[in-house]
Homo-oligomer: A and B are copies of this chain.
Amino acid sequence: MTDSTTSIPAESSPAAPTEALLIQEQGSFAFGGTVVERPDGATVHTDHGYVQYQIPVNAKKLPIVMWHGYGQSARTWETTPDGREGFQTLFLRRGYPVYLIDQPRRGRASTSSEGIYVPGANDEEFFFTDQAFWDAFRIGEWDRGEQPRFHAGVQFPQDPESISQYLRSGAASVGPDGFDDATREVFSDAVAALFDRIGPAILLIHSTCGAFGWRAASKSENVKAVVGYEIGPYSYPISEPPAAVPFDIPELEPWVAADLIPDESFDRLARIPIQIVWGDFLQEHAYEWAPYVARSKQFVAALRERGGDAENLFLPEIGIHGNTHFPFSDLNSLEIADQLSAWLARKGLDG
A168 within 8 A of B: yes
Stretch in A104-112, A212-220, A235-243 touching the partner: A104-112
CB neighbors of B among A95-138 (8 A): 102, 106-123, 126, 128-132
Closest B residue, CB atoms, query A81: B29
Closest B residue, CB atoms, query A175: B120
Q: For residue A57, which residues in chain B have a CB less than 8 angstroms away from its CB?
A: 20
A73 within 8 A of B: yes
Check B111 against A128 for contact (C-beta < 8 Å).
Answer: yes
What is the CA–CA distance of A64 and B243 in the complex, to the nearest angstrom?
Answer: 56
- In whole Å, how far is A130's beta carbon from the nearest beta carbon of chain B? 5
A27 within 8 A of B: yes
Closest B residue, CB atoms, query A109: B171
Bits for A39-64, please: 1 = Cβ < 8 Å to B, else 0: 01111111010101000010000000
What is the CA–CA distance of A123 and B38 in the complex, to the nearest angstrom?
Answer: 8
Bits for A132-175, please: 1 = Cβ < 8 Å to B, else 0: 10000000000011000000000000000000110111111111
Q: For residue A318, which residues in chain B have a CB less than 8 angstroms away from its CB?
A: none
Q: For residue A52, which residues in chain B have a CB less than 8 angstroms away from its CB?
A: 78
Q: For residue A128, which residues in chain B have a CB less than 8 angstroms away from its CB?
A: 44, 111
Stretch in A83-91, A279-287, A288-296 touching the partner: A83-91
Bits for A5-37, please: 1 = Cβ < 8 Å to B, else 0: 000000000000000111110111110010110
Check B20 against A129 for contact (C-beta < 8 Å).
Answer: no
Choose among B21, B26, B73, B168 the residue that contacts A45 (Cβ–Cβ < 8 A). B168
A79 within 8 A of B: yes
Check A122 against B117 for contact (C-beta < 8 Å).
Answer: no
